[in-house]
C-alpha cells in the first residue's frame, strides 16, 4: 500500500499532464524516486511538479 494512492490509472500516458489528472479526477500524481525522462531528456512529471500536484 502507498499512503498517497487510492486510485491507479492503467495505461496512463508517459508524460503526465494536468489534463490527465483532471480526466481521472486525481488530486495529484504519485511516482517513485527513480528518474523518468523523455527522449529529449525532459522530466516526464515536470508539468505536475510545477503545479504542486506530484508526490513521491
Give me the domain span that covers residue 23.
Answer: 1-56
Rounded to an integer, what is the distance from CA 10 to the centroid of its chain?
12
Residue 45 near residue 14 (C-beta atoms within 8 A): no
C-alpha cell at 28: 495529484
Task: Give the three cell numbers for residue 9.
Answer: 490509472
Q: Which residues pair with 30 in a beta bridge?
A: 55
User: What is the total count of domains within the chain?
Assistant: 1
Tens-digit pLDDT profile for residues 1-51: 677 788 888 998 999 999 999 999 999 999 988 999 999 999 999 999 999
Answer yes or no: are the C-beta atoms of 30 and 5 closer than 8 Å.
Answer: yes
Q: Compare 56 and 46 and report the one with higher pLDDT.
A: 46
CA dist., res. 35 & res. 43, Å (int) = 8
Amino acid at each position: 500500500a502507498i499512503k498517497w494512492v487510492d486510485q491507479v490509472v492503467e495505461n496512463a500516458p508517459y508524460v503526465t499532464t494536468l489534463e490527465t489528472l483532471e480526466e481521472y479526477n486525481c488530486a495529484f500524481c504519485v511516482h517513485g524516486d527513480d528518474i523518468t525522462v523523455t527522449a529529449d531528456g525532459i522530466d516526464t512529471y515536470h508539468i505536475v511538479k510545477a503545479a504542486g500536484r506530484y508526490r513521491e
